[in-house]
Amino acid sequence: MEIINKLAENTVNELVKQGSSSASASCYKGELNELNVDTDEFSLLRTTFDSTISLSCIKENRKGSVSGNDLSEEGVNALVDECLLSSDSAPEDSAWEMCSTPNKKEYNLGNLCDKDKMFKRAKEFLHNVKKEYPLVSLEQMIISHCQSNNIYLNNHGVRYDMSCGFYNIMLVVLGREGEKSSSMSYCVRRLYDLDKPIIELSGIRQLLSSAEKQIHTVPFAGKGEYPVILAPDTVGEFVYYALSNFASGGSLLSGTAIWKDKLNKDVVDNRLNISIDPFHPSIVSPTLYTSEGYEAKGYDIIKDGVLNSFIIDRYHANKLGMEASPTDGSEAIIAPGDTSLVDLISGIEKGILVERFSGGMPAIDGEFSGVAKNAFLIEKGKITSALSETMISGNLEKLFNSIIGISKETIENGGSSKPYMAVEGITVSGV
């Protein structure tokens, strides 16, 4: 820690010495221990080390930003010069800002790496999958542990010291029976410890069960508007699309945000609640300060269907004359509802459940179209068949104002918490 402390201090002092009114340095040193499984076999165990330094400066209302991995004296000096050159060549813009209120915080999160436990949980998971889901092939599993030290400081007395150790589990699976197989499915889970078997982590059994069921599929018959249940990852994706198009600093500045005049007004169904909360108990290795050096705080974007806040960094806030969001983080918490998933399904005469959506960024007005992957047919209140690739289309604003229900169940992946959501008004058709 002492090395990157001194490095950050020296680079900030040098940037100020050479004319910067505001300067910051963010230094990172990390150790990654990684265990790989490929096609059900252990394939790799390695330890790697990484270090980065990111510099920003504001000089005569011109901002420069650079990053690099060479922490030698020569490498850092070159990076300082590059940062200053970047600011000198940038356009003048008075909207650039860096936190000038002194603040010092220290965070110690997570645990040190336990390699024996990594191997134990990986071996246990392989055994459990073969025993309980014999038609599932584990194409890849990567269990890693990242131990890092991070420092952010600027010349205005702002400093954050963060030490964090967490595990990351990435799974890629498919179902296979004879020559037939499902499409690949994947998930990532971030956690501070390995106290639970991997198969018991949030949503893992659903991932494995779906892979088996997707080996044999049928096409969706017909075309029309049907009720659709969006799985948590798909809910999160659609929420991201909607907020990016309707409520972000970029869309507000360009004038394309259709919610630009809707602050403190109803914009979606009153059962929908969305917040960004780095301090939610399900969040692992959160974003604790903004890129401008402000301490992060949780906030509501949508509360009971009302747009409480836009998502705006300091730069866009200054350009727009608006209030900035309290965090740069993406730790989305979509509140659960009061209906079980079983009851959501039982209320649908004919529709589909979509576990994964493949499509481009929707249009600025929210119109979207894409392929529902890992989808299932719902008939007379029950899931009956796995579907081959199925087209879905609709409008995001209409979708979030046509909610049938939100599930009690949520999926936590370490970076977000999301429920299932049943909606109307989506056009469904077989490919």
Per-residue pLDDT tens digits for 256-297: 999 999 999 999 999 999 999 999 999 999 999 999 999 999
Q: Based on the fold, state whether residues 129 and 269 are members of the same structural domain.
A: no
Residue 223 falls within a domain, yes or no?
yes
- 211 domain residue, yes or no: no
pLDDT digits (tens, 9 = 90+) for 106-148: 999 999 999 999 999 999 999 999 999 999 999 999 999 999 9
Residue type, 119: F
| Residue 54 in domain | yes
pLDDT at 214: 96
Choose the final residue of a domain: 168, 202, 236.
202
Res 391 pLDDT > 70: yes
- Same-domain pairing of 283 and 198: no
pTM above 0.85, yes or no: yes
- For residue 66, tell me if it sits in a domain: yes
Please report, for the domain that includes residue 12, its CATH number: 3.30.2290.10
Average pLDDT taken over every residue of the chain: 96
Encoded amino acid at 196, one letter? K
> Do residues 180 and 225 both lie within one domain?
no
Same domain, 151 and 173: yes
| 104 and 227 part of one domain | no
Helix, coil or strand: residue 35? strand
Which class for 106: exposed (0-12), middle (13-18), buried (19 or more C-beta within 10 A)?
exposed
Same domain, 180 and 230: no
Domain boundary among 179, 202, 225: 202
Q: What is the pLDDT of residues 305-354, one digit of tens each?
A: 999 999 999 999 999 999 999 998 889 999 999 999 999 999 999 999 99
Query: Do 228 and 338 share a structural domain?
Result: yes
Number of domains in the chain: 2
Q: Using alpha carbons only, what angle is made at residue 405 by residues 403 and 406, rounded to the nearest 5 degrees?
A: 105
Verify that 43 and 68 share a domain, yes or no.
yes
Query: Which of 202, 224, 256 is the last residue in one of the domains?
Result: 202
Q: In this structure, is residue 112 part of a structural domain?
A: yes
Distance CA 105, CA 160 (A): 5
- Over 80: is that where the pLDDT of 1 sits? no
Q: Which helix (H) or strand (E) holds 411?
A: strand 403-412
Whether residue 208 is contained in a domain is answered as no
Tell me what pLDDT residue 21 has.
Answer: 97
Report d(CA 35, CA 402) in Å as an integer: 44
Residue 242 carries which DSSP code? H
On whether both 222 and 198 belong to a single domain, the answer is no
Q: Is the pLDDT confidence value at 165 over 70?
A: yes
Angstrom CA distances, 424 to 169, 269, 352, stand at 34, 12, 11
Q: In this structure, are 134 and 246 located in the same domain?
A: no
Locate 133 and state its tokens.
Answer: 């889901």
Q: What's the token pair of residue 129?
A: 């999958």
Q: Where are the alpha helices (DSSP H) in 141-287?
A: 204-213, 232-246, 249-254
In a domain, residue 209? The reply is no
405: in domain: yes
Nearest to 170 by CA among 135, 206, 130, 138: 138
The domain of 360 spans 216-431
